[in-house]
Amino acid sequence: MAFDIDMIRKVYDTIPARVDKARELVGRPLTLSEKILYAHLWEGMPSKKFTRSKDYVDFAPDRVACQDATAQMALLQFMHAGKEKVAVPTTVHCDHLILAKVGAEKDLAVANTQSKEVFDFLSSVSNKYGIGFWKPGSGIIHQIVLENYAFPGGMMIGTDSHTVNAGGLGMLAIGVGGADAVDVMSGMSWELKFPKLIGVKLTGKLNGWTAPKDVILKVADILTVKGGTGAIVEYFGEGATSMSCTGKGTICNMGAEIGATTSTFGYDDSMRRYLTATGRADVVEAADKIADYLTADAEVYANPEHYFDQLIEINLSELEPYINGPFTPDRGTPVSKMKEEAAKNDWPIKVEWGLIGSCTNSSYEDMSRAVSIVNQAVELGITPKAEFGINPGSEQIRYTIERDGMIAAFEKMGTKVFTNACGPCIGQWDREGADKGEKNTIVHSFNRNFSKRADGNPNTHAFVTSPEMVAALAISGRLDFNPITDKLLNDNGEEVMFKPPFGDELPTKGFEVEDPGFQAPATDGSSVNVVVNPDSSRLQLLEPFQPWNGQNITGAKLLIKAFGKCTTDHISMAGPWLRFRGHLDNISNNMLIGAENAFNNKTNSVKNQLTGEYQEVPAVQRQYKAAGIPSIVVGDQNYGEGSSREHAAMEPRHLGVKAVLVKSFARIHETNLKKQGMLALTFANEADYDKIQEDDTINFLDLTEFAPGKQLTLEFVHADGSKDIIMANHTYNDSQIEWFKAGSALNLIAAGK
Ligand code: MIC
Ligand code: SF4
């Protein structure tokens, strides 16, 4: 039986009437995305039509998921909300805080000792407030959600940008910051600007070496890391229905990399098969009763150009495998062009590591297709030229692939089998020699490849590709190896060639697992005590942020003008810093240390305007704070791209930064800043970015008139006394302005407003 099946049935009971009403209000056939949105309005039955990209709408998500690295802050905030229990089904997953070093067994034991305090905290808070807890080693949040909780037509939010993975099962699943999750866990509505819709029509059929991963690598190449901002991507067409459910998950997962709010697919047979294989025939039975409501109206897919804001068509029969990177997931190179591109750009050809896993690609199908390449290498007598590591997505996958001989096949090739967890994907990788900083290439099946992400080495060129391509490239040891056309030399010096990969979509003998690693919460948690040691370096209870004093901010210093890509990895680095995710003051020591200072092109070196010296960003900001001087941060395009981590907003808030003024924001980060009571502003005129100088002092001239739709005026006073007036746009609505005034959204919840 599926978890929370009663909740799912209740949702299904309400969908038909709400969707019918929405269709009547909108006055035309509906896309799947619109159906799910209108079926999840906070008000229940729809009463008006919303305008895409304009109206802020209150929604009622069906469930919430949090992972350990973000759950700490989310739950610390939830503890302030004064509730006895979470209002909607919620789960916490321990997956980010496990370092990959020697292999699963030892690594997990080390994590359980080193992060005991944090895991104990998460487990006891979960127990107290009715939250399902998935222990370290149980698997990666998004894989577990897909295996256990996702359901067609549902809506969920999660404190991780790859929550979108659940779109593979026809959900609208959206990544948010912890403060948004706290709203929903507290029984409040969740707000989102009604998204625009991008349709992706998949014609033809995947074949040979191409995999679902290539679809999204291609889409990322087309749309870039910004192209999906404010949009839901809806996939359809014969190419969509002919692919596996977990493959759909892969595609939706990496929708985060194009900034999309989420991605989804209509309910189909692949979902029925997957739900049944994962023990949820009851969900299939319930979904089948309203199947028409769980996909778009037929007219939409027949004439998509009338219903989507943008339409992309990809013919899967012609699609080639892609290898995206380095340093950004939207730089796509089809395998046939890699020789040329790699040579032109001087990318290291030798592949040092191949890594398979992450929430993106760790399904049974992924593993079996990769293993089919590994098995061929053994048969052909090829010793792999690169090192190999895998992270199974869940204990259920690991157990099943072990039973089916796949782990043994990987191990025959010297593969390290790491814990069922994020591992190298989030920089939890103790890679030997990474500290030498050598230029090198790795290939992986993950979703992100920002500089330093996997191993902390800025010179590691990480390329994203499908698991079967990772296997082929790692075995050949060359980035420019094209398995479709190229031969390899085996250990006897003979020329050999790989056949295309093949694998089972689902285990023919069914999934199996002994201990999935789940801990159900106490029915009555009121007597459960949550302890946080005041001397802890890992956890710190939160102090509410101060409300706005009602005055214009004046005399603010420019802390940093960040140049170019500034993702949440640059603002609040992961890897070794993950251990401070529950301690705001300690983690604030990583604030913006990865951002490039536009004035000297260095990272973590900004001018301290009090002394004229160049110092580390957090150190300078702490001095401003101590002196009672406000500051602002200036940034470039798509600032805060990447993850949902709200530390990237809470750290500047905690250290006294008042505003972040950029050319454009990534959605989740912008909301996170608003929630924490910061000013998230964009240049009305992007070229004004160039007017900002290193010694600037900033005065807000009309913050006292802060109102929706009204620009703010900022005066930048330069060192020579000259001034520039810069106009800033913002997207705050009335209630978001209240968050700013109260000091944070949480302050309002805690005050019962
Ligand atoms: C990531 O992939 O960067 C993370 C770690 O999963 C993040 C969440 C986080 O910062 O903890 C994400 O994608 O949201
Ligand atoms: Fe974990 Fe990587 Fe997935 Fe983020 S992207 S949840 S770090 S596996």
Q: In whole angstroms, what separates CA 469 from the centre of its chain?
A: 23
Q: Is 653 a catalytic residue?
A: no
Q: Give the number of the atom of ligand 1 that is nearest the alpha carbon of residue 70.
A: 11
CA-to-CA distance for 318 and 326, rounded, in angstroms?
Answer: 24
Q: Is 214 a catalytic residue?
A: no
Among the bound ligands, the one closest to the CA of 568: 1
Supply the pLDDT for residue 531: 83
Residue whose token pair is 């005041």 = 534
What lies within 8 Å, CB to CB, of 697 at 6+ separation is 555, 556, 557, 558, 609, 716, 717
Q: Is the pLDDT of residue 81 over 90?
A: no
Which one from 123, 270, 394, 643 is the annotated catalytic residue? 643
- Ligand 1 close to Cβ of residue 162 (< 6 A): yes
Q: Whose CA is nearest to atom 3 of ligand 1?
A: 643
Q: Is 369 a catalytic residue?
A: no
Q: Are 365 and 505 within 8 A, CB to CB? A: yes
Which region among 126-135, 450-459, 554-563 has the lowest average model confidence (pLDDT)?
Answer: 450-459
Q: Is 645 a catalytic residue?
A: yes
| Crossing angle of helices 734-742 and 667-675, rounded to 10° | 50
Eight-state DSSP code of residue 413: T
Q: Whose CA is nearest to atom 9 of ligand 1?
A: 645
CA-to-CA distance for 668 and 671, rounded, in angstroms?
Answer: 5
Supply the pLDDT for residue 750: 83
CA-to-CA distance for 634 and 562, rounded, in angstroms?
Answer: 6
Dihedral over Cα of 345, 346, 349, 351: its sign: negative
SS3 178: helix
Q: Is 9 a catalytic residue?
A: no
- Going by C-alpha positions, the residue among 408, 351, 404, 414 that lies closest to residue 382 is 414
- Going by C-alpha positions, the residue among 453, 651, 628, 462 that lies closest to residue 554 is 628
- Over residues 345-377, the pLDDT tens digits come to 999 999 999 999 999 999 999 999 999 999 999
CA-to-CA distance for 38 and 26, rounded, in angstroms?
Answer: 10
Helices (H), 577-659: 584-587, 617-626, 647-654
- Ligand 1 close to Cβ of residue 579 (< 6 A): no
pTM of the predicted model, to two decimals? 0.94
Q: Whose CA is nearest to atom 5 of ligand 1?
A: 426
- Strand duo 90-93 + 132-134: pairing: parallel
- Ligand 2 close to Cβ of residue 359 (< 6 A): yes
CB atoms within 10 A of CB 118: 25
- Ligand 1 close to Cβ of residue 649 (< 6 A): no
What percent of the chain clears pLDDT 90, i.e. is strictly above it? 97
Q: Are 132 and 521 within 8 A, CB to CB? A: yes
Rounded to the nearest whole angstrom, what is the distance from the C-alpha of residue 335 to the centroid of ligand 1?
28
Supply the pLDDT for residue 571: 98
Q: Are 392 and 368 within 8 A, CB to CB? A: no
Q: Whose CA is nearest to atom 12 of ligand 1?
A: 643
Supply the pLDDT for residue 526: 93
Supply the pLDDT for residue 570: 96
Q: Is 448 a catalytic residue?
A: yes
Among the bound ligands, the one closest to the CA of 425: 2
CA-to-CA distance for 627 and 629, rounded, in angstroms?
Answer: 5
- Ligand 2 close to Cβ of residue 122 (< 6 A): no
Q: For the residues 65-77, what does the mean pLDDT come to? A: 96
Supply the pLDDT for residue 82: 85
- Ligand 2 close to Cβ of residue 595 (< 6 A): no
User: What residue type is 228 in one-letter code?
Assistant: G
Supply the pLDDT for residue 719: 97
Rounded to the nearest whole angstrom, what is the distance from the C-alpha of residue 37 to the centroid of ligand 2?
26
pLDDT-derived band at 490, boundaries 50, 70, 90? very high
Supply the pLDDT for residue 476: 98
Supply the pLDDT for residue 625: 98
Q: Is the pLDDT of residue 753 over 70?
A: no
Supply the pLDDT for residue 128: 97
Rounded to the nearest whole angstrom, what is the distance from the C-alpha of residue 669 to the centroid of ligand 2?
17
Q: Whose CA is nearest to atom 2 of ligand 2?
A: 425
- Ligand 2 close to Cβ of residue 283 (< 6 A): no
Which one from 68, 160, 214, 696 is the annotated catalytic residue? 160
**Residue 596 forms beta bridges with which residues?**
603
Rounded to the nearest whole angstrom, what is the distance from the C-alpha of residue 494 to the centroid of ligand 1?
45
Q: Is the pLDDT of residue 407 over 90?
A: yes
- Ligand 1 close to Cβ of residue 426 (< 6 A): yes
